[in-house]
Structure 1
Amino acid sequence: MRIVSANLNGIRSAANKGFLEWLANSQADVVCLQELKAQLPDLSPEMLAPTGYHGFFHPAEKKGYSGVGIYCRREPDRVVTGLGIADIDAEGRYLRADFGPLSVVSLYLPSGSSSEERQQIKFSFMERFMPMLQQLLAEQREIILCGDWNIAHQPIDLKNWKGNLKNSGFLPEERAWLTDVLGLGWVDTWRTLYPEAPGYTWWSNRGQAYAKDVGWRIDYQLATPGIAQKARMASIYKDQKFSDHAPLIVDYDHAG
């Protein structure tokens, strides 16, 4: 079973750069999308339901902003749109699909880098999301949380960590929160598979960050222990550039 997490920084932009053609050849079973930057009427038929896939979406209310989606080969038994928290759901940040005993979630944590106000909104999201992470574990299902978490956890997770200690995405409070998330029992599949590999998934558009691989690992697949143990290999797709993020691909031994 192949699960992909991809922040598209605009689904229409990514489609113009060949994302849907890549998807057709990706052999992905479930693809979690973040940062759609589109409403449903903006999406072409191919974006709504690529050949071989069902499409589900939770756009933001604000046009050209945020939004999450899921493409899946198998039709889900159930889809949960949003967290049931009005201000968070207005920004389109959480979408869950259930397949038998497995759930896959597309998650887009707020970024705090644009202003102090947005950083406070990010902290508020983190505080309110933590009990929900506990509730998910209490369901005793296998769950994979895919998405752009907008936090690099440890120094290995970003190239220039010393220069970012006071910047959003690598603040002590953010890193401690992610440590607490893992402490609940969630497993960071990439870091478990590859303890020494940085695994960058995002590069600033400034300077030569992408060319020089001055990146951050802020896209994760966090999983419940059972399915995490079945993660066999992971990769970050950089042969084509669809966005300022690269797709994170994880293969699990799981029928379905």
Structure 2
Amino acid sequence: MRLISWNVNGIRAVMKKEFMQSFETMAADVLCLQETKAQDEQTFEALKGLEGWFIYTNSAERKGYSGTAIISKKEPISVSYGMGIAEHDTEGRVICAEYPDYHLVTVYTPNSGSELKRLEYRKDWDQAFLAYLQELETQKPVIVCGDLNVAHKAIDLKRPKENYNKAAGYTQTEIDGIDNYIKAGFIDSFRHARSDEIKYSWWSYRAQARARNVGWRIDYFLTSQSLGDQIKDADIYNNIMGSDHCPVVLEL
């Protein structure tokens, strides 16, 4: 199984670039998207060329904002949207597809924002989302993928000292959030497969950051502990363009 996650920063925008060619090249069994920035019908329209695939979308109430999608070669047993918590479910950030051996959850974690104005909400989100994943784990193992909007350790961003506790995505509050996932038994598949490798999945559009590789690793595949021995490989496809993020992959 090849599972791929990609924050496309606008599904309609990325379709005008090389999305279809990239889709074929990546040869995913399931492709999870974040930040579709489209209502459900707009996402279906953008992806109408993908005949024979099962497509599920979750859009935000606010138009042109947030949003997630799952594109699957095989039909899941069931699909659910959101965490079932009203205050967290208005922005289309979570989809769960149930397969025979695991739940696959795609998530677009809230950004703490400029001046960290949303940091307290982000803390609440992380706690609620972990509880949601742990509830799913009582049924079967969980794979969660997406833009978690946090660099876990210093190796995961180019300039850790300059950004620590100053920039969204590398505050101690956010680091504690992902630490709690790991303490709960979730495996960071990229670090599991490539413990010391330096690769990034997001670059600012400013100052030619991608060309200079001044980036952050904020896109992940986390798996339940029980799936650890099934991880064949995990990687970051930083040669695939079209967004300020690049795809991340998990092979089982």
Into which bin does the TM-score normalised by the smaller protein fall?
over 0.9
SS state at 1:221 partner:
strand
Tell me if the contact between 2:15 and 2:46 (Cα under 8 Å) persists in the aligned partners.
no
Q: Which moved more, 1:125-134 or 1:6-15?
A: 125-134
SS state at 1:33 partner:
strand
Residues in 1 aligned to 2:225 and 2:20: alpha-carbon distance in whole angstroms: 32
Tell me if the contact between 2:59 and 2:92 (Cα under 8 Å) persists in the aligned partners.
yes
The CA deviation at 1:171 is: 0.6
TM-score of the superposition, structure 1-length normalised? 0.93
The CA deviation at 1:115 is: 4.3
Structure 2 match to 1:131 = 131
The runs of 5 or more residues in structure 1 that have no matched partner are: none
Question: Compared with structure 1, are the counterparts of its residues 204 and 84 closer, same or farther at alpha carbon in structure 2 (3 Å cutoff)?
Answer: same
Structure 2 match to 1:154 = 153
The CA deviation at 1:173 is: 1.6
Of all paired residues, the percent bearing the same amino acid is 36
SS state at 2:206 partner:
coil
The CA deviation at 1:11 is: 0.5
Tell me if the contact between 2:36 and 2:65 (Cα under 8 Å) persists in the aligned partners.
yes
- Write the deviation string for residues 208-239 of structure 1: whole angstroms up to 9, x where unpaired: 21011111010000001232321112222233
Alignment of 1:178 with 2:178, yes or no, is yes
Q: Which moved more, 1:90-99 or 1:13-22?
A: 13-22
The runs of 5 or more residues in structure 2 that have no matched partner are: none
Which residue identity does 1:114 align to in structure 2? S
Which residue identity does 2:186 align to in structure 1? W
The CA deviation at 1:129 is: 1.9
TM-score of the superposition, structure 2-length normalised? 0.94
CA RMSD of aligned residues (A): 1.5
SS state at 2:13 partner:
helix
Show the 5 A alignment for 1:9-24: 9-24=9-24
Alignment of 1:58 with 2:78, yes or no, is no
Tell me if the contact between 1:144 and 1:223 (Cα under 8 Å) persists in the aligned partners.
yes
Structure 2 match to 1:89 = 89
Show the 5 A alignment for 1:1-256: 1-43=1-43, 45=45, 47-48=47-48, 50-139=50-139, 141-166=140-165, 167-252=167-252
Tell me if the contact between 1:190 and 1:199 (Cα under 8 Å) persists in the aligned partners.
no
Tell me if the contact between 2:60 and 2:92 (Cα under 8 Å) persists in the aligned partners.
yes
Tell me if the contact between 1:49 and 1:55 (Cα under 8 Å) persists in the aligned partners.
no
Which residue identity does 1:125 align to in structure 2? W
Which residue identity does 2:101 align to in structure 1? P
Residues in 2 aligned to 1:79 and 1:88: alpha-carbon distance in whole angstroms: 18
Question: Compared with structure 1, are the counterparts of its residues 72 and 49 closer, same or farther at alpha carbon in structure 2 (3 Å cutoff)?
Answer: farther
Question: Compared with structure 1, are the counterparts of its residues 49 and 100 closer, same or farther at alpha carbon in structure 2 (3 Å cutoff)?
Answer: farther
- Write the deviation string for residues 141-188 of structure 1: whole angstroms up to 9, x where unpaired: 122101100011100010100001122211112112211210111000
Tell me if the contact between 1:79 and 1:96 (Cα under 8 Å) persists in the aligned partners.
yes
